[in-house]
Structures are given as structure tokens and as C-alpha cells.
Structure 1
């Protein structure tokens, strides 16, 4: 029975709505269980030294590379009262702690869960959905920017009944807000809430639907006397001694939808997610790359804050090809870090920088299951940015990325 369950989990996107990282390998009582996956890949970039959200930036003089993208080793244990999960990521860059949390629950019931430690932020769908099961090589740019490495340290309460309301999942977490940082750089905490609905086996058990909404309410501490607020004409500079130790709002609101149709040709799966809100960042500079200037902070930002209104979304479509083991996939995602200003205004004498540029990505490829545990993925990303008046961003960057990945799960 366990072998059958493992195979079903691997043969996603079947019922590919809820493979959460915030869970042990099984809630049935068990001693130490060891699971994981390894992803090795070759990538070719359109230009040497590009900035990339597809596994990290390329070296200054390199346009292609071999790399270990993820090497996950997960250890967990469960009894009738609690679970413990510990996961590391081992790559050519070293070993990093990914998950370390304890879950408590009533004996024989998982309706209420209390989780404490390092875990995925319970925001939307793709953040908590495991990279070992996701068809697409990487999460969308908008989520890599807002929530780098997806995790944070804190406590969470989850509600998922097993009765007539089993289609509901509700989560609420209190977090440091600084992600992996060894220390929280202010005394304020961030809160995250998620409400999700999932209905399986509709229309003669051929149609499955999931949807939900999330919010993130947090702050970023200012360490200088100046911050910049965005307007339609650029940034307005605000300077006062009172701005030191002031906290800027970091607010996100998101909605998501997953649709799956089991048909004679295979299984068709559509996923989409939209998020918008306020994101405190900084201005890009010689030492801070453009895309990195709108990312969330893991340590105290020492430069002036730039307050941006952003939005972003992705659409993912996959199609299993009958029983061949092939899955075709296509995606489109957009991240606009500054909705207040048009691209052609960026770079004028208005305090804008490369951190305000909008990017869109069209991805397409195929994956092939080799046996029960090995998956080969071939995928290309065409990345587009509109022209600006900034010297290095007058035209679209040549920053497309081609990826060939081999994954093994155990």
C-alpha cells in the first residue's frame, strides 16, 4: 500500500493541489522516516553574466553551467500527539537548513494543528507547494521576490476538519518577517493568513477545483532619515529625523485558483495566482542589482527605503499526454514592482532605478517520467522587459534561460 501511495504522489499533476512542505511524510504514527529528492541540471543563458531567477545569477563571464539545483533530505517522525520535521538542502553552495518545526495535534485528529519553528509561509498556493512535485522548474518571479526561499520562523495554527467541511483549510501564522535571518532586526512581527477550498471528484469524478485567498501584514524598519514614496511622476523624497526607527507597511493580498480535468487524452491542469500590495525596497545601485532592490529583507536595510505599490501573477498550464509519461507545459508570469510609473519614465530625474522595471516571462517545455522515481524536464524561459531611459535598460535584456533537469525522488 505504501508503494502505491508513493507512486501516486510522484505521478503528479494528479490531484496536484495540496503537496505542502508544512507536513511530515505521513501523519500515521511512525518512527524516523527519510525522504528527499535531488535535482541536477544544465542551463544555457542568452548572454553571459545575466541576473536570473532560474537558479540564481550567472557568473560574470559564463553563459552556461552545470549545477545541483536542490538536494533535499527530509527526516520526520510522527506519533498520536505530534510530528517533527527536519529538512536540509545540500548543493554546491553548501548545506542550508530548510525546515525545522514541531507540530502538535489532538490524538487521532488533524483538525487543529499547532506548528512552531522554521516552515513555509502559509500564503497562497505555490509558496507551500513542494518544489519536488511542481512541474515547472521554479516559482514565479513575483513570489521569489516577495518571499525568498519561502520560509520564515514563527508559529502557526491550522484548521482542516475531516467532517462535512473537509473542503476548507484555514491557516494563521505569526512570523519574524526576516526569513532565514539568524536574528530579527526589529521587535515587530508579521502575520499571515490563508483560507483555501478544495473540491475533488466533481462531474463524475473527472473535475477537481481548488481556490483561496491570502493576506500578509508586516513592516520593514527604517534606519535612515529619508524614504521615497512613489508617484506617477517618480519618487517623492521625504526627510525627517522622525523617520529613523519608523516602520513602513509591507502588505500583500493574493487570490489563487487550481483546475484539473481528467480526460481521455490525459489530465489537464491550470493554476493561476495573483498578488498585489505594498513592498518596501531600496533603490538599485552599483552594488545592488536591479531586481534585488525590490526583494524582501533578511537583515536591516541600511539605505533609504523605497515604498512601492506592486502586483504580479502567473498562469501555469500542463497537459499529460495519455499514458506516455510525457507532460507538456506552458507558463506566463508578470511582476511589476512599481505600478505607479510607466517604463519610459524610469531613469529620468525622478529618483527611479532599475528596481522599478516590469518583467514578464513566457515559459514552455516538457517533462518525462523515467520509471517511478526519475523525471527529466526540458524547459525554456523567454524573459521580456520594456525599454526605459536607463542606460543599461533602454532595450529588452538578452536574458532568456534554457534548462535541462534530471530529478530523482526517494
Structure 2
């Protein structure tokens, strides 16, 4: 009888023990703690089967109907559960389905536990992968679920070889311009005088690449201003020390951005760090061209050399050693530096936010360089005939001998400039307003308008210049502005009048209102009128007078 009860208990406990063993042997994931009961739940009570009749027992008598046994309670693991009294076969058969139902419930719980373990294992595999991807961005903090955010600190070589980031940008400025002094004529030598035309002022494509300690910039430019041309406008190779928390993206170029590296050493074809307007990007500039003085001093914006620039807090600095021959698209511009002396350009300034809506910046710039006066070739003796009486015949006294001349050597001369610039930006309810200007003096620096050559003229030429501009955004979709600039190419100019030399101002003043429509980040349609006040012509009395040379320009700029 006891043996039969033991066999029944073992048969009911085998499925439970196997299920518990499977749950305990399942490996938990590395990053999660899973608790599994150390002891299985006690098996449900099993009704004992009736004892078989014994041969030694007396003859069985009809017994009264047996009552159902009360449910057995779970016993401690160290003690055997007491055997309940015998029950009829019909009640044992009814208890078996109940035991199977309890086993099925435990199996369902085991399946749910296995599904939870699989989900935890999947998350344990994906979490290190996400952490590794976030760690590829230098300076970016990595956050693991369930843990506090901590900065990623990697070895120097790993930060040095981190993958770089690239940005491709482009813009096209197509326009129509009309000049008051345009003529359908040709100058002596074949130069055209017509200036009423359509043209592509700039079509530029730029590639920027950035790594932790290096940057690369390459910009190509196409234009039809002086005929179809296409060439390199920027070619920069830089080493730099960045601020903490670099986002892994190429920084925005130009002086309008606030973030600058602590130190940046650049070799190649790059901008000249003099003042504000010269280094301001033509893509961001609202007015069609730079001021008159800037165009005269620097016919082209970039030059070849080396530049050290950066900032600490609000302080800004830039120091450059350049060839001294700005690269532009004029046919007469030199293809290479004509002398061994280099130009030294420096700018010291500040850039800070007084409030969240007000930003103030400015600086002092200086330039010291060496100009070049080309010598002349040697000439041979020659004979010259002048038809004085215009009879188309050689008469006595009309033939003259011209002696030859020796070659003259080339000479260098000194040039310099000093400038002061300031900018104020204010965020208003209708958009950002910007007031900025620049002023300064220079000597022998005009290389584009009235070329200064003290070797040829015999006197030093001094220049004076200033400009002021205001631009107001009208919501995000419009803008308006006004600029006044003045340039005196020769502050010591003397005009001969009646046999006397009279001091005369040669200043050129330009008033430029501008207005336009803006599609943020995509396009701008601008109209600008330039009223030019100068003394470049003479009236009937021979007195300098204003030349009628006003112009207007309609430009469409689309950018990528």
C-alpha cells in the first residue's frame, strides 16, 4: 500500500521537477538579474488508490460509502507529506484532471519566463551596439539605459583617427545690371563699353571636411563677369584645436558664426583677415558687392599664404603672412607673386552677447606689405617721322632720331593700412537687425581702381575710407537695407586750375538702398540701386563734376 502511494507521488512530481530544472538552467543575460524560485511549488495532492484485497484478510463486508478526503496541505520539503486515507476509484479519477490542470499552469508560467529571458538577451546584445555607435561621435556623451550619462573619454590616437564629417554646399548668383554710363562703343584697344547685360556673378561649389584636429576646404567658382571663367576660389588645409564638446560636424565659415576654435593654423588659398567686409561670405552678404574702398584695396578676396586664427571666450585674433597679390579674375592680375617680400595682416577683436537678443563685435586691423614697380626693357635707337603739314610726303624737319634707352630695374615700395570695424546685431519682433561699419586710412594700397605707384608718380599716395550699413529682416521672408560708403583715393590730390595747383577732393560716395524677398535657406531675390556721387568728369569750365554713372542690379540667388 505504501509503495503504491510513493509511485503515485513520484509520477506527479516528475513534470514539475523537469520544468523547474529547465528554468534554473536557462542562462540569464549579462545585464539583467532574473530570479527563479529555488524550490518548485509543492505538487497538488494525489488521492490514493484503494488497497487490493489481501488473502489473509477476512471476508470483506459491505462498507458504508466513504467520504471525500479533505485536500492535503503542503508539507515542508524535509518532511514527507502524510498519506490521506483511502478513497474510492471514482474520486481518484476525478483528482487526476485537476493535477494535470496545475501542471499546465506551471508550464505556461515557464513559457512566459522563457520569453522574458529571450527579450532580455536581445536587449543585452543591442545595448552595446548602440553605445558603440554613439561613441563614434567625438566629444559626445554616451548614455546606457538605466545608467547616468557620462562623457566618453577615448585615447588620443583613437580621437585622432575618428572618422570625419563632410558637407557639400553650393550657390548661384545670376543677375541683370544696368549702368548709366553704358555705351554701345569700343575703347581704344578693343574694350567694350556696354554694361547693360545678364551675367552669372558667382557660381560656387564648396566641399568641407572635418576631423578632430584637421579640416579641409575646397571651393570652385564660375563667373561670366569678364568672360566665362572657372577656377579655384578656396583651397585650405588646417590644423586646429577645438573647443570642448565638438558635435562632429564641419563648422560654419565666415565671421557671422559665433563658435570658433581655440587655435587654427591654415595653409593655402584663404581669405585675408582685414576688417569685417572682406572676410564676410558673399553668400551671406546682402549688398551686391563690397564697398568701393574694399574693391580698390583688395580686387580679390583670397590670397595664398598661412594664417593663424582663433578665439578664447569673447576674444578673437587672426594673423596671416600672405603673398600680397589677391587672387581675382582680372586678365591683368599677376599669375604669381612678383617679389620675395610678404604682406603681414593682423586683426584683434572681440565678439560677445550682451543679452540673449543683443550681440556686439568689432576689431582693429592692420596691414604692412611691399608693392612692386616693374622695370622697363632696354630699347634700340629708332627713326620717327611726323607728317607736320599732313601732305603725306617726307619734308625736311619731319624726321627725328630717337636714341635707345637702357633697361630700368624693378623696384619695391612700402604700403600699409589700418582699419577699425564694429557690428551690432539685435533680435527684434520682426526679425534680426544689423548695424555695422568700418573706417580707416592707407598708403599706396590701391590695386584695383586708381592704382597707386609712388615710383612712377614720385609721391606717396594716401587713401581714406569709411562705410556704414544697416540691414533689417522683415519677418523670415523679407529684408531691407541701406549702405553709404566713401572712398578718397588720393587725400593729397592737387588739381591744376588757371596755372595753379588747387587741393581737390577726389572722394567717391555711393548710396545703396536694397530690398528683397527671402525663402529661408533656399533663395533670395534682391534689388539694389547705387547712386554714385564723384568728381570724375569736368564741366564746360573745366571744373571737376559728377559723372553720370549710377547703376541698378536685380539678382536671384539660389543655394544648396
The CA deviation at 1:179 is: 2.0
CA contact (8 A) 1:248 1:280 kept: no
Residues 535, 547 of structure 2: 8 Å contact kept: no
Find 2:343's aligned residue among 161, 177, 190. Answer: 190
1:293 and 2:450 equivalent? yes
For 1:329 and 1:108, the matched residues in 2 are separated by 35
SS in 2 for 1:311: strand
**C-alpha distance 138-361 of structure 1, shift in aligned 2 (>3 A):** same
Match of 1:329 in 2: 481
Say whether residues 1:97 and 2:232 are aligned partners: yes
The equivalent position to 2:528 in structure 1, one of 379, 382, 391, is: 379
Out of 182, 195, 199, the position equivalent to 2:352 is: 199
TM-score if structure 2 supplies the norm length?
A: 0.55
**Cα shift at 1:390:** 8.9
Give the secondary-structure state (helix, strand or coil) at the position aligned to 1:293.
coil
- Residue 408 of structure 1: aligned partner: 558
C-alpha offsets along residues 145-178 of structure 1, whole Å, 9 cap, x if unaligned?
10111111111111312xxxx1111111111112
Query: If each structure's helix is expressed as a fraction of its own residues, which one has the higher value?
Result: 2
Q: 1:30 to 1:407 in 2, by over 3 A?
A: farther
> 2:421 and 2:446 mapped to 1: Cα distance?
25
Structure 1 CA distance for aligned equivalents of residues 498 and 345 of structure 2: 37
> How far apart, in 2, do the equivalents of 1:90 and 1:305 lie?
39
Map of 2:264 onto structure 1: 113
SS at match of 1:375: strand
Q: State the shift of 1:386 in Å.
A: 2.9
SS of residue paired to 1:292: coil
Give the superposition deviation at 1:94.
1.1
Structure 1 partner of 2:73 = none
Q: Does 1:211 align with 2:362?
A: yes
CA RMSD between the two structures: 3.1
Q: What is the correspondence of 1:66-77 to structure 2 with a 5 Å cutoff?
A: 66-77=198-209
Alignment-derived partner of residue 150 in structure 2: none
C-alpha deviations, 1:10-36, integer Å up to 9, x for none?
xxxxxxxxxxxxxxxxxx973442212
Change (3 A) 1:68 1:217: same
* Cα deviation, residue 245, structure 1: 4.5
- Compute the displacement of 1:341 (Å): 2.8
Asked whether the equivalents of residues 531 and 551 of structure 2 are also in contact (C-alpha less than 8 Å), the reply is yes
Q: Secondary structure at the match of 1:160?
A: strand
Query: CA–CA distance in 1 between the matches of 2:484 and 2:270?
Result: 27
Gapped runs of 5+ residues in structure 2? 1-161, 185-190, 245-260, 328-333, 377-405
Query: Measured at CA, do residues 67 and 349 of structure 1 come closer, stay the same or move farther in structure 2, by a change above 3 Å?
Result: farther
Where relative contact order (Cα < 8 A, 6+ residues apart) is larger, the structure is 1
Q: Distance in 1 between matches of 2:480 and 2:176?
A: 20
Structure 1 unaligned regions, length at least 5: 1-27, 51-58, 226-240, 283-290
Match in the other structure for 1:315: 468
- Structure 1 residues 348 and 88, CA, compared in 2 at 3 Å: closer, same or farther? farther
Matched residues, number: 336
Query: Structure 2 vs 1, CA of residues 29 and 315 (structure 1 numbering), >3 Å: closer, same or farther?
Result: farther
Deviation per residue, 1:187-213 (Å, 9 max, x gap) = 11110000121112x24x121111100
Partner Cα separation in structure 2 for residue 363 and residue 216 of structure 1:
28
Using the TM superposition, give the Cα deviation of residue 372 of structure 1 relative to its aligned residue in structure 2, in angstroms: 3.2
Report deviation, 1:349.
7.2
**Cα distance in 1, alignment partners of residues 498 and 444 from structure 2:** 22
**How far, CA to CA, are the matches of 2:179 and 2:536 in structure 1?**
20
- C-alpha distance in 2 between matches for 1:348 and 1:389: 15
2: CA distance, partners of 1:121 / 1:390 = 40
Tell me the alpha carbon deviations over residues 52-79 of structure 1, each in whole angstroms, 9 at most, x when there is no partner: xxxxxxx745252111010011112111
Q: CA deviation at 1:138?
A: 0.8
Partner of 2:283: 132
User: Whose radius of gyration is greater, 1 or 2?
Assistant: 2
Q: What does residue 80 of structure 1 align with?
A: 212
Q: Please, what TM-score do these two structures have when normalized by structure 1?
A: 0.74
Taking the aligned partners of 1:245 and 1:390, their CA distance within structure 2 comes to 39
How many Å apart are 1:275 and its aligned residue?
2.0
Alignment partners' CA distance in 1, 2:243 and 2:476:
40
Q: What corresponds to 2:298 in structure 1?
A: 147
Q: Is the 8 A contact 1:121 1:128 kept in 2?
A: yes
1:59-117 deviation per Cα after TM superposition (whole angstroms, max 9, x unaligned): 74525211101001111211112111111111232102111110002476631111001
Residue 259 (structure 1) aligns with: 424
